[in-house]
Amino acid sequence: MDITGRKLFVKALQEEGVDTIFGYPGGTVTDLFDELYRQDGIEVVLPRHEQGLIHEAEGYAKSTGKTGVCLVTSGPGATNIITGLADAHYDNVPLVCFTGQVPLALIGNDAFQEVDIVGMTQSITKYGVTVRKREDLGRIIKMAFHIAGTGRPGPVIVDIPKDIQTTAGPAEYPASVQIRGYKPNDTVHIGQLKKAYKMLRAAKRPLILAGGGVNVARANEKLLAFAEKTQIPVVTTVMGKGAVPTSHPLYVGNSGMHGKYAANMAVSQCDVLFSIGTRFNDRITGDLNEFAPKAKIIHIDVDTASISRNVVVDVPVVSDANLALEKLLEWAETKDTEKWQAQIAAWDRENPLEMRRDHGMTPQMIFEHINRTFSDAIYVTDVGQHQMWATQYLELDAWHQLITSGGLGTMGFGLPAAIGAKIGNPAREVVCFSGDGGLQMNIQEMATAVACGAPVIICVFNNYYLGMVRQMQQLFYGKRYAATCLRRRKSCPKNCKGPNEACRPYTPDFVALAESYGAHGIRVEREDGIQAALDEARTYRDAPTIIEFMISTDEIVLPMVKSGNPMSEMILK
Amino acid sequence: MKNRWIALYVENEVGVLAKVSGLFSGKSYNLQSLTVGTTEDETVSRMTICVMSDDVTFEQIKKQLNRMVEVIKVIDLTDVPIHMKEILFAKVLGISAAEKQEVFQIAQVFAVEVSDVGNDSVLLECKLTARKNNELVALLKSRFRKIEVVRGGAVAIESVSISDR
Ligand SMILES: Cc1ncc(C[n+]2csc(CCOP(=O)(O)OP(=O)(O)O)c2C)c(N)n1
Ligand SMILES: [Mg+2]
């Protein structure tokens, strides 16, 4: 018997095992919402803005490994998710986003709330399609879930015209699909891998560089086993942090623009760089000609197009991280890397990662308390200085995961992603780190967190500035703080050089703002208040808590490599 | 940097052409020509694409194309035997009777068809390789004051026994 498109839509979600959908209603999707209303298995989360919605779906997907599902209306609903699509595309987050569309006959007429969302998002989605025939609906939804979640994961758009939703058609939802143009790689070329391993075995100063792909593939344990067996030290990218436990003796630290001195030195001096799950983006390599100048490079990645694109590699291996590591583990033998490890340790002693302790509350102190406080937590960050400090100072392992916007660097990501992570992991604590700038980009999601009973802890690092940009102005632009002070008023002098007695109060008052949402607010001015604030926030199980940490304005993220410079040229002080 | 050729099998669906050409502009690849039409299987279109690039970029272009869900197959035609032709119309305008004779001679030399003639103009219909077409256009431009050219971009297919490109 035939059923309507809207019924098939819900059936498809059920068969895909979807438990949560992030949805914001509107004219072209009311039928779908009505159908969702009539069932019980799938929870519908109503955010307060579609950008928040899609970051929530990302947080849910990144923290659970499941595909995040979004449902928004046509026109402005669809355009509001574009930033999130780009974010998910760069960070390989599996999402299926359903957008409503005007009825088929109106497409192309500039109808009310019509936009060509599939056309607009072609370069930032893994796949996108408008359903043009009711009988295609089931196959297309199946395809969408298959494409989003396999190979190198990514966002997929399914645009469903309103009349397709109400038209009757086949009731079947296919169990599988064959897509002739889509064959994710599920094998590994043993010959190439052998070559890679031989090269690694012959190395004197071997180094593993682990990228976000290791975390996406959830290949952490295998990577750790491989590193331990071979005794090869590990550095990570920002997205790869946590690929091996940060407390492990073989773990050096993050490399890249704000990487640890020892990690960047290790990359500069290693003779074989075994890289896995990274696309060698410019924040990792710096000046390409000077990147790992002494090393032969092995590169393992699921995506052929990521290989030999930014960095020319000596041994490319197209493979899923798990698959390659499984094979490598069969061959792995213990290497003597003691001297090399000692060299790396010496670099670390030379320039350890630390902030001064004689001058008020620093971000490092906050993270030290965080590290001591949470035994099982998901950490989520926004974008800016606080994000870099988080990636430098947070301790991660199997029980402490980090979620951050790496590729796109989307301010406003943190709060909604944390809410999504909490929804996907109700039993775990979720802590969000945000800036006083970025938190305001999706602050309306406080209401979503309250409504969903998602007691996330939001640590705002209030430095009164768009700190990450201010840092560049401080170092490279003669302290001309163009449009970065968040306390600036019309009455301020044009050439202000930083905070002084005449500064006006910060708006908003984050504590009062939290309370107005029915959430909790705590302000911390000094180090001795950090622990009490964290302990208090953990007692609130009903609603989120904003802890506002008043940190110094001129704290900067160090070490730092100026964009485009070689990684060995670090600004350390 | 040199010209390279790709045959691309894609799903014959709405938006695929836009997606392929969008890839070239979005990633700053230097697209020289692109033609598209359906194949013997009407669910499949075949494109013939010419790009100007260096080796590394060309490898990347092929990988990026392969990665698109709508792309069924990417074939590199750069160094394989193929037959390649491009359709081109050239109108030569405002010419004297003597000049007209010259156009006819050129048509003969290039073995192209004179498909229309007026008082002071001639229309040539050419089905040559893209390179030959370039030469013809250059010659016409150097000899006559006013010409009008429309060309379709090359189509190519793998050879059966001999190569013609
Ligand atoms: C949507 C968006 N707009 C602009 C930027 C550029 N940007 C990167 S970091 C930053 C400053 C962030 O300030 P804040 O949230 O206060 O964090 P802080 O750096 O001070 O810790 C800006 C403007 C961005 N990454 N994303
Ligand atoms: Mg700030």
For residue B79, the 8-state DSSP code is T
Asked if A127 has any chain B CB less than 8 Å from its own CB, the reply is: yes
Closest by CA position to A164, among listed A139, A188, A189: A139
C-alpha to C-alpha distance for A243 and A251, rounded to whole angstroms: 10
Residues A541 and A438 in one domain: yes
Please name the amino acid found at residue A137: L
**Which of B20, B54, B76 is a domain's end point?**
B76
Which CATH number belongs to the domain containing residue A307 in this structure?
Answer: 3.40.50.1220
The whole-number pLDDT of residue B162 equals: 85
- Average confidence (pLDDT) over B121-128: 97
Share of chain A above pLDDT 70, in %: 100
**Which of B16, B49, B76 is a domain's end point?**
B76
Confirm whether A335 is domain-assigned: yes
The whole-number pLDDT of residue B163 equals: 81
What confidence tens digit (pLDDT) does each residue in A25-58 have? 999 999 999 999 999 999 999 999 999 999 999 9
Whether residue A561 contacts residue A571, with contact meaning beta carbons closer than 8 Å, is answered with yes
A84 lines ligand 1 (CB under 6 A): no
A524 lines ligand 1 (CB under 6 A): no
Active site residue A468: yes
Residues A346 and A401 in one domain: no
pLDDT bracket for residue A356 (50, 70, 90): confident
Number of folded domains that form chain B: 2
A315 to chain B, minimum CA–CA distance in Å? 16
Residues A313 and A426 in one domain: no
From the list A16, A35, A50, A56, the catalytic residue is A50
Name the closest residue on chain A to residue B22, using Cα atoms. Answer: A123
- Average confidence (pLDDT) over A256-283: 96
**From the list B15, B26, B70, which residue is nearest A123 (CB)?**
B26
Please tell me the residue having the least CA distance from ligand 1 atom 17: A435
E-strand stretches of A162-236: 168-169, 206-210, 234-236
A390 lines ligand 1 (CB under 6 A): no
Confirm whether B41 is domain-assigned: yes
Residues B62 and B93 in one domain: no
Confirm whether A358 is domain-assigned: no
Residues of chain A positioned with their CB less than 8 A from the CB of B56: 308, 312
**Which of A350, A385, A412 is a domain's end point?**
A350
φ, ψ dihedrals at B32, nearest 5°? -90, -45
pLDDT bracket for residue A365 (50, 70, 90): very high
Closest by CA position to A455, among listed A514, A496, A403: A514
Confirm whether B24 is domain-assigned: yes
Ligand 1 atom with the smallest distance to the CA of A468 is 19
Closest by CA position to A199, among listed A275, A255, A307: A275
Residues A326 and A445 in one domain: no
The answer to whether the CB atoms of A181 and B67 lie below 8 A apart is: no
3-state secondary structure string across A237-304:
CCCCCCCCCCCCCCEEEECCCCCCHHHHHHHHHCCEEEEECCCCCHHHHECHHHCCCCCEEEEEECCH
A562: CB partners within 8 A, 6+ apart: A476, A569, A571
Surrounding residues of ion ligand 2, Cβ less than 5 A: A 435-437, 463, 467
Residues of chain A positioned with their CB less than 8 A from the CB of B22: 122-123
Q: What is the mean pLDDT of chain A?
A: 96
pLDDT bracket for residue A267 (50, 70, 90): very high
Domain that holds residue A447: 363-464+506-550
- Average confidence (pLDDT) over A237-247: 96
A82 lines ligand 1 (CB under 6 A): no
Record the tokens describing residue A406, joined without a space.
Answer: 């790496």
Domain that holds residue B89: 83-160
Asked if A483 has any chain B CB less than 8 Å from its own CB, the reply is: no
Mutate to test the interface with B, among A104, A304, A307, A313 (most CBs of B within 10 A): A304
A407 lines ligand 1 (CB under 6 A): no
Active site residue A50: yes
B79 to chain A, minimum CA–CA distance in Å? 22
Confirm whether A330 is domain-assigned: yes
C-alpha to C-alpha distance for A273 and A298, rounded to whole angstroms: 6
φ, ψ dihedrals at A23, nearest 5°? -135, 145
Whether residue A221 contacts residue A288, with contact meaning beta carbons closer than 8 Å, is answered with no
Residues A124 and A208 in one domain: no
For residue A411, the 8-state DSSP code is T
Record the tokens describing residue A83, joined without a space.
Answer: 């930033």
pLDDT bracket for residue A359 (50, 70, 90): confident
C-alpha to C-alpha distance for A205 and A270, rounded to whole angstroms: 5
The whole-number pLDDT of residue B165 equals: 78
The answer to whether the CB atoms of A181 and B14 lie below 8 A apart is: no
Which CATH number belongs to the domain containing residue B113 in this structure?
Answer: 3.30.70.1150
Asked if A541 has any chain B CB less than 8 Å from its own CB, the reply is: no
Sign of CA dihedral A381, A383, A388, A389: negative
C-alpha to C-alpha distance for A412 and A306, rounded to whole angstroms: 27
C-alpha to C-alpha distance for A443 and A454, rounded to whole angstroms: 15
Which CATH number belongs to the domain containing residue B35 in this structure?
Answer: 3.30.70.260
The answer to whether the CB atoms of A305 and B63 lie below 8 A apart is: yes
C-alpha to C-alpha distance for A391 and A259, rounded to whole angstroms: 9
In angstroms, the Cα distances linking A289 to A209, A264, A268, A278, A560 are: 18, 15, 11, 18, 19
Confirm whether A573 is domain-assigned: no
- Using the mean position of ligand 1's atoms as its centre, give its distance from the Cα of residue A387 in Å: 10
Residues A318 and A441 in one domain: no
Whether residue A260 contacts residue A267, with contact meaning beta carbons closer than 8 Å, is answered with no
C-alpha to C-alpha distance for A50 and A43, rounded to whole angstroms: 17
pLDDT bracket for residue A573 (50, 70, 90): confident
Confirm whether B165 is domain-assigned: no
pLDDT at A292 over 90: yes
A115 lines ligand 1 (CB under 6 A): no
Mutate to test the interface with A, among B28, B57, B69 (most CBs of A within 10 A): B69
Asked if B64 has any chain A CB less than 8 Å from its own CB, the reply is: yes
Most ligand 1 atoms within 8 A of CB, residue of A411, A462, A486, A557 to mutate: A411
Ligand 1 atom with the smallest distance to the CA of A410 is 26
Q: Report how many helices (DSSP H) and strands (DSSP E) chain A contains, helices first.
A: 22, 20
B137 to chain A, minimum CA–CA distance in Å? 36
CB contact residues (below 8 A), chain A span 174-233, against chain B:
179-182
Closest by CA position to A457, among listed A373, A398, A368: A373
Please name the amino acid found at residue A540: Y
- Using the mean position of ligand 2's atoms as its centre, give its distance from the Cα of residue B69 in Å: 41
Residues B91 and B66 in one domain: no
User: Does an H or E element contain A225, and which?
Assistant: helix A220-230
Please tell me the residue having the least CA distance from ligand 1 atom 1: A411
pLDDT bracket for residue A97 (50, 70, 90): very high
Number of folded domains that form chain A: 3
What confidence tens digit (pLDDT) does each residue in B1-32 have? 999 999 999 999 999 999 999 999 999 999 99
Residues A345 and A427 in one domain: no
Residues B67 and B117 in one domain: no
pLDDT bracket for residue B41 (50, 70, 90): very high
The whole-number pLDDT of residue A8 equals: 98
The answer to whether the CB atoms of A181 and B69 lie below 8 A apart is: yes
E-strand stretches of chain B: 2-11, 30-38, 44-53, 71-76, 82-93, 113-117, 122-128, 146-158
Name the closest residue on chain A to residue B26, using Cα atoms. Answer: A123
Active site residue A113: yes
Interstrand relation of A429-435 and A457-462 (parallel, antiparallel or unpaired): parallel
Residues of chain B positioned with their CB less than 8 A from the CB of A127: 69
The whole-number pLDDT of residue A358 equals: 86
Asked if B54 has any chain A CB less than 8 Å from its own CB, the reply is: no
A450: CB partners within 8 A, 6+ apart: A517, A518, A519, A543, A544
- Average confidence (pLDDT) over B137-141: 97
Confirm whether A81 is domain-assigned: yes
Please tell me the residue having the least CA distance from ligand 1 atom 13: A466
C-alpha to C-alpha distance for B96 and B111, rounded to whole angstroms: 22
φ, ψ dihedrals at A440, nearest 5°? -75, -10
Name the closest residue on chain B to residue A307, using Cα atoms. Answer: B60
C-alpha to C-alpha distance for A116 and A315, rounded to whole angstroms: 42
pLDDT at A568 over 90: no
The whole-number pLDDT of residue A224 equals: 98
Ligand nearest to the CA of A383: 1
Residues A78 and A201 in one domain: no
A75 lines ligand 1 (CB under 6 A): no
The whole-number pLDDT of residue A500 equals: 93
What confidence tens digit (pLDDT) does each residue in A450-469 have? 999 999 999 999 999 999 99
Residues A36 and A93 in one domain: yes
What confidence tens digit (pLDDT) does each residue in A106-149 have? 999 999 999 999 999 999 999 999 999 999 999 999 999 999 99
The whole-number pLDDT of residue B116 equals: 97
Confirm whether A458 is domain-assigned: yes
Share of chain B above pLDDT 90, in %: 96
Record the tokens describing residue A253, joined without a space.
Answer: 């630290």
Confirm whether A512 is domain-assigned: yes
A556 lines ligand 1 (CB under 6 A): no
Asked if B132 has any chain A CB less than 8 Å from its own CB, the reply is: no
What confidence tens digit (pLDDT) does each residue in B58-117 have? 999 999 999 999 999 999 999 999 999 999 999 999 999 999 999 999 999 999 999 999
Please name the amino acid found at residue A78: A
Most ligand 1 atoms within 8 A of CB, residue of A258, A383, A404, A507 to mutate: A383
Ligand nearest to the CA of A435: 1
- Average confidence (pLDDT) over B37-66: 96
For residue A95, the 8-state DSSP code is E
Residues A396 and A539 in one domain: yes
A201 to chain B, minimum CA–CA distance in Å? 29
Sign of CA dihedral A411, A415, A421, A424: negative
Confirm whether A244 is domain-assigned: yes
**Which of B31, B50, B76 is a domain's end point?**
B76
Which CATH number belongs to the domain containing residue A515 in this structure?
Answer: 3.40.50.970
Active site residue A355: no
DSSP SS3 for A366: helix
